Amino acid sequence: MMLAVVGLVLLGVFVLRFRKDRRRLSNGVFLLLGMAFCGVWLLGSGAEGDTPVVLAGLLVLLSPLLVLVLAGLLMVNGGQLLRREGVRVANLLPLGLGIALLVPYVLLAVAIFTGEIWFVVILASLTMAVSYIGFLFASFLPYSLFYGALPYRPGMDAIVVHGSGLLGDRVPPLLASRLDRAVELYRAEIAAGRRPVLITSGGKGSDEAVSEAAAMAGYLVDKGVPAENVVLEDRSTTTRENLLYTKRLLGERGTSTRMVLVTSNFHILRTAILARRLDLDAEVTGAKTAFYYLPSAILREFAAILVAYKWVNMITCLALTALPVLALLLTRDMPHHYGD
């Protein structure tokens, strides 16, 4: 019963924090913990005898197998991404992560083969850090999907479309999906009697014939959006710059800064978190993305969030990895080999 109480309290905290501001990664942490405690309670309450113990043992035994399956899927996806999108650092992420997930198993094999206690300590330290990152990812992914599934809340003064790169002077499919989503929202607002401004964002890259903002504006006009309702923000090179320039642009126009940010579905939660940190009155909605592209994109988003909170994550990882080493140093009579 205690597990159920803890789970319900955590879910209650999630609801309160979500109602106050849905743009928090910590919401996902409370949601995951609450669901986990309630799930364990339901599992235990609905089973008899030693069944919960057996199920828990099966989960422990299956966890390494699931990690191996995940590593294999990531490496397959990485190969597919490299074939379709070319060799770039960002496209190597799924393949690299798949290989990295195999490292603990290699260390475990070495530890078993040699019987060296320090290999076990290194494996334990690595496992602690990986478990922490895995927990954060397990909080990030479901909440990102949950946030992306939330219905659009109308009544915006501006619809801001984030750029994603051009092909010369052409709008590629990824960016076109964002613009199509923006047109959909614009028409819904018009049908409701409002007339929001559409802001296209993105400067001119070294390999681009025109600025992203200009190419995007042309695409929107071709879709039937009046040119006078489209405003260009053509200086930004990052999402952060775009948000700051857009806020300033709306302020200069004397328009309220309530806005919806349109990006790809994998990018919505990080964009929402950034908007919150910049104290913007903004919500985020996402456009669909090709399925094969999602694993790499989601991993990049998660990595960017880790970097955004780098000091908290670094300190936590260092503290966790130090625990097995400290345990070994404090247990001075521990043999150096298993067979001693």
Whether residues 275 and 170 fall in one domain: yes
Whether residues 316 and 190 fall in one domain: no
Give the torsion through C-alpha atoms of 331, 332, 333, 337, to 10 deg: 90
Residue 319 lies in a domain: yes
pLDDT tens, residue by residue, 214-229: 999 999 999 999 999 9
Query: Residue 40 and residue 8: Cα distance in Å, rounded?
Result: 12
Whole-Å CA distances, 64 to 47, 114, 120, 203, 321: 25, 21, 16, 46, 20
Whether residues 223 and 332 fall in one domain: no
Based on its alpha-carbon atoms, the radius of gyration of the chain, rounded to whole angstroms, reads 24
pLDDT tens, residue by residue, 133-177: 878 888 888 898 899 888 888 888 899 999 887 877 788 888 999
Residue 62 lies in a domain: no
Whether residues 256 and 284 fall in one domain: yes
Residue 194 lies in a domain: yes
Whether residues 208 and 273 fall in one domain: yes
Residue 297 lies in a domain: no
Query: Residue 138 and residue 161: Cα distance in Å, rounded?
Result: 28
Number of domains the chain is built from: 2
Residue 336 lies in a domain: yes
Q: 297, exposed or middle or buried, with CB in 10 Å at 0-12, 13-18, 19+? A: buried
Residue 269 lies in a domain: yes
CA 142 to chain centre: 9
pLDDT surpasses 60 at 46: no
pLDDT tens, residue by residue, 51-64: 555 555 555 555 56
- Determine the pLDDT at residue 338: 47
CA angle centred on 154, ends 184 and 191, rounded to 5°: 55
pTM for this entry: 0.76
CA 99 to chain centre: 20
Task: Find the helix packing angle between 268-277 and 239-253, rounded to 10°.
Answer: 60
Strand-pair category, 259-264 with 197-201: unpaired
Whether residues 251 and 328 fall in one domain: no
Whether residues 281 and 203 fall in one domain: yes
Whether residues 117 and 169 fall in one domain: no
Whether residues 162 and 287 fall in one domain: yes
- Determine the pLDDT at residue 150: 87
Whether residues 102 and 201 fall in one domain: no
- Which residue in the block uniquely carries the two structure tokens 């690299």? 96
The domain containing residue 94 runs over which residues? Answer: 77-126+310-340
Residue 331 lies in a domain: yes
Whether residues 285 and 315 fall in one domain: no
Whether residues 262 and 288 fall in one domain: yes
Residue 66 lies in a domain: no
CATH number where 240 lies:
3.40.50.620
Residues in the chain: 340
